[in-house]
């Protein structure tokens, strides 16, 4: 029964994440009004708004105008469901699970917002900085989380390193490089997982980003100076670090 509840909850929060991904960049409230088709503006009935299931039953099309529904809806809801399930299987029903679920939903929203709009909303990063630091005062959480001093150092280091890179790049190149949204996202990671996570996540996210654009660089369709949304790579680097955390720490 718990497993079924977790699966349903994961899909529902994935649906909410989709709402945030669409409405936050538009400056709209995320809990105002019912969902509607972006093409025909018809309100979507509740039976056509069941996460994952409705998408499949409707064969990826709006019931009214037959316009193709973005695959993003299905993808985000599926990722959220899997994420909830994995966290439950690893940490069970616990406060650690709750914190990681909250962070994962926010990461999911940031991932797709930055991927589509090249922005990382302050409302998300600031709230996660605060929560990441506040939770560090609870000594009963999983060791994956640092104590409050480690958390404070981590948040400061995460922001400080990226801010320094942005500042010196601007001074030498006379143009913008990374955005402060990336610095704030690194601060979030530092507050949540401590200072030791920062160098690894910087390295891993940079490698993943380079590998992802390498084909375009070889085809000369992009340059090293081309703008890319770095937030998704930071999040992927963080996930990679957390999965192999013990192996990375042994390297020190």
- Give the pLDDT of residue 252: 62
Q: Hey, CA dihedral for 222, 122, 183, 76, is it positive or negative?
A: negative
CA distance 175 to 169: 7
pLDDT band at 57 (very low <50, low <70, confident <90, very high): confident
**Structure confidence by residue, pLDDT tens digits, 158-181:** 999 999 988 887 888 766 667 789
Q: What angle do CA 79, 210, 201 make, to 5 degrees?
A: 60
Query: Is the pLDDT higher at 158 or at 246?
Result: 158
pLDDT of residue 40: 75
Over residues 20-55, the pLDDT tens digits come to 998 898 887 776 566 776 667 777 776 677 888 888
What's the pLDDT score for residue 220?
66
Tell me the pTM.
Answer: 0.91
DSSP per position, 84-151: HHHHHHHH-SSHHHHHHHHHHHHHHHHHHHHHHHS---HHHHHHHHHHHHHGGG-TTS-TTS--HHHH
Q: Give pLDDT tens digits for 213-235.
A: 887 767 766 665 567 889 999 99
Q: Phi first, then psi: what are they for 33, rounded to 5°?
A: 80, 165
Q: Quote the CA–CA distance of 155 and 198 in Å, as a whole number.
A: 9
């Amino acid at each position: 029964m718990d497993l079924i509840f977790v699966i349903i909850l994961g899909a529902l929060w994935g649906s909410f994440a989709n709402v945030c991904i669409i409405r936050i960049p538009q400056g709209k409230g995320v809990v105002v009004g019912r969902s509607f088709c972006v093409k025909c503006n018809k309100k979507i009935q509740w039976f056509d708004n069941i996460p994952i299931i409705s998408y499949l039953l409707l064969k990826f099309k709006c019931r009214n105008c037959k316009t193709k529904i973005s695959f993003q809806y299905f993808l985000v809801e599926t990722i959220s469901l899997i994420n909830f399930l994995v966290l439950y299987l690893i940490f069970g029903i616990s406060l650690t699970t709750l914190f990681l679920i909250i962070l994962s939903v926010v990461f999911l929203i940031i991932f797709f917002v930055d991927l589509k709009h090249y922005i990382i909303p302050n409302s998300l990063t600031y709230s996660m900085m605060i929560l990441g630091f506040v939770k560090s005062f609870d000594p009963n959480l999983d060791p994956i989380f640092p104590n409050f001093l480690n958390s404070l150092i981590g948040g400061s280091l995460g922001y400080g390193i990226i801010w320094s890179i942005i500042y010196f790049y601007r001074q030498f190149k006379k143009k913008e490089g990374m955005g402060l949204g990336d610095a704030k996202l690194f601060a979030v990671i530092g507050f949540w997982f401590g200072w030791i996570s920062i160098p690894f996540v910087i390295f891993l996210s940079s490698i993943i980003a380079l590998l992802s654009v390498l084909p375009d660089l070889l085809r000369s369709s992009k340059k090293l100076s081309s703008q890319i949304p770095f937030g998704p790579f930071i999040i992927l680097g963080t996930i990679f670090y957390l999965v192999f955390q013990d192996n990375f720490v042994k390297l020190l």
